[in-house]
């Protein structure tokens, strides 16, 4: 286990956790022993009282005070150790699947691509320049209302954003068999512990401290809790949900070019796919999620590639992740628009989500999977950048043209 975890982070050391667990076992055994002594002494005192042996009873009572004091100290230490152990265990990431390569973010593996990179007889513009010239984004007023890196869509930009969201929800519900969900935007601490965001990434989530509620950074954190503390029937698996939510992330730090426009923002819209499956079917479901994310880009005619993340770049909860990255010619690089992950039973164990096998065997933990299909901010940028014309207008893909009722923006 430790060797496999070190594929993600060479600094992971399970020795302190194992030492805490050993101390927990020792303290628990001692607490049980002292509890037994108290019970035996109480029975003996009652017997001595019946026999009229007051002196012996009083001596035993004095002895029992020492046992009670030690038990209190042992149980207090046991509670502290259990809290420390739980925090340490919750901070551990998932174990990478054997098919995940070693390496860091820069060493992801390109699996395939679709379509051709659009070629231009001019220098392609950044989506910010295109969007602002066409009146699709108003970043200055958004910054005045809220602050930097909170976008505001205007005019046909707002219409395009809503049209894409509605179309993707319908696509996944009607053609891919997902149950639509519009979940709350806020969630409680237990929900974020189940999803794996807490405790490690608590500082990256926007909080409402007075209510002990937190703004959703991704609908995955909400959908994984739909069946928390439930037992599902194997016959009802897979459970497949699609949700639209605005997502909120602090995104602390400076990112240079990524900080411009819609690439790395504090608020964005996303359609999320989520599945609960059996362990035997989860990796087939992962491939299904990726194909469904790809279907969105293919119908929009956008060039993209698919990459396999190495162990050092996996999210806390993921055992394996496959990204779909769209090409942005205004920046000459690919950006992730969908990240599809199999979390195996990592989240299910945290959320106590199990299923009853059809053959009547003992309860088993489900596997949970998630994937964006898609996040609209970078999708919006890709539609503009891949379909721009030299005069600054954008020739919309046929599907988008049909959604907006116009073939060209500008």
Task: Tell me the mean pLDDT in the region 181-207.
Answer: 94
Same domain for 140 and 252, yes or no, is yes
pLDDT for 62 equals: 78
Residue 337 dihedral angles phi and psi, to the nearest 5°: -115, -15
The answer to whether position 76 is within a domain reads yes
d(CA 247, CA 223): 13
- Model confidence at 369, pLDDT cuts 50, 70, 90, reads very high
Instruction: Please state the separation of Cα 166 from the chain's center in Å.
Output: 23
- Same domain (yes/no): 277, 254: yes
Residue 335 lies in a domain: yes
Residues 326 and 200 reside in one and the same domain: yes
Structural domain includes residue 99: no
Residue with tokens 């020795």: 15
Q: How many CA atoms lie within 13 A of 373 on its CB side?
A: 33
Structure-model confidence comparison of residues 105 and 297, the more confident one: 297
Question: Is the pLDDT at 67 greater than 60, yes or no?
Answer: yes
Residues 81, 204, single domain; the answer is: no
- With 60 as the cut, is the pLDDT of residue 254 above it? no
The average confidence (pLDDT) of the chain is: 94
**Which residues are CB-neighbours of 222 under 8 A, at least 6 positions away?**
183, 184, 187, 191, 216, 243, 245
The model's confidence at residue 59, banded by pLDDT at 50, 70 and 90, is: confident
Q: Model confidence at 259, in pLDDT bands (50, 70, 90)?
A: low
Residue with structure tokens 């942005």?
328
pTM value is: 0.91
Query: Do residue 148 and residue 31 come from a single domain?
Result: no
Q: Which tokens is 385 given?
A: 């950048």
* Residue 63 predicted with pLDDT over 70: yes
Say if residue 215 is in the same domain as residue 355: yes
Span 140-145, mean pLDDT?
96
Active site residues: 249, 264, 336, 339, 378
Identify whether 98 is part of a domain: no
Adjacent-strand bridge partners of 213: 188, 208
Same structural domain, 130 and 64: no
* Residue 161, domain member (yes or no): yes
Q: Considering its fold, how many domains does the chain have in total?
A: 2
In a domain, 100, yes or no: no
The Cα–Cα gap between 325 and 113 comes to: 9
Whether 87 and 110 map to the same domain: the answer is no
Q: Please name which of 228, 234, 218, 252 lies closest in space to residue 341, comparing C-alpha atoms.
A: 218
Instruction: Assess whether 9 and 116 both reside in one domain.
Output: no
Query: Residue 96: inside a domain, yes or no?
Result: no
pLDDT of 301 > 80? The answer is yes
Q: Which domain holds residue 77?
A: 2-91
Residue 275 lies in a domain: yes
Task: Look at 58 and 249; give whichever has higher pLDDT.
Answer: 249
Residues 301 and 341 in one domain: yes
CA–CA gap between residue 389 and residue 381 (Å, rounded) = 14
């Amino acid at each position: 286990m430790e060797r496999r975890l070190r594929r993600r982070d060479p600094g992971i050391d399970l020795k302190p956790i194992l030492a805490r667990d050993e101390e927990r076992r020792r303290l628990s055994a001692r607490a049980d022993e002292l509890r037994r002594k108290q019970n035996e002494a109480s029975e003996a005192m009652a017997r001595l009282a019946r026999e009229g042996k007051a002196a012996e009873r009083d001596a035993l009572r004095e002895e029992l005070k020492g046992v009670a004091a030690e038990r209190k100290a042992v149980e207090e230490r046991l509670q502290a150790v259990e809290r420390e152990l739980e925090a340490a265990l919750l901070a551990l990431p998932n174990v990478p699947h054997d098919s995940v390569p070693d390496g860091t973010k820069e060493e992801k593996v390109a699996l395939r691509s679709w379509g051709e990179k659009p070629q231009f007889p001019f220098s392609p513009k950044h989506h910010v320049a295109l969007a602002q010239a066409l009146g699709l984004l108003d970043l200055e007023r958004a910054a005045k209302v809220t602050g930097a890196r909170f976008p505001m869509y205007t005019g046909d930009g707002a219409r395009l954003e809503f049209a894409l969201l509605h179309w993707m929800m319908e696509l996944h519900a009607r053609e891919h068999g997902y149950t639509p969900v519009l979940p709350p935007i806020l969630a409680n601490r237990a929900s974020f512990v189940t999803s794996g965001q807490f405790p490690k990434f608590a500082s990256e989530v926007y909080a409402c401290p007075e209510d002990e509620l937190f703004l959703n950074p991704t609908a995955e954190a909400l959908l994984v809790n739909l069946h928390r503390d439930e037992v599902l029937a194997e016959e009802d698996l897979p459970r497949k949900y699609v949700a639209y939510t605005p997502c909120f992330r602090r995104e602390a730090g400076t990112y240079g070019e990524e900080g411009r426009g819609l690439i790395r923002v504090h608020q964005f819209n996303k359609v999320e796919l989520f599945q609960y499956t059996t362990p035997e079917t989860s990796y087939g479901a992962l491939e299904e999620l990726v194909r469904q994310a790809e279907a969105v880009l293919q119908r929009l005619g956008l060039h993209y590639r698919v990459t396999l993340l190495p162990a050092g770049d996996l999210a806390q909860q993921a055992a394996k992740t496959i990204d779909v990255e769209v090409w942005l010619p205004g920046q000459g690089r690919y950006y992730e628009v969908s990240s599809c992950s199999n979390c195996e039973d990592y989240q299910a164990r945290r959320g106590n989500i199990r299923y009853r096998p059809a053959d009547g065997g003992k309860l088993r933990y489900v596997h949970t999977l998630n994937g964006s299909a898609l996040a609209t901010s970078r999708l919006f940028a890709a539609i503009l950048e891949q379909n721009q014309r030299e005069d600054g207008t954008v020739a919309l893909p046929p599907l988008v043209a049909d959604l907006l009722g116009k073939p060209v923006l500008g």
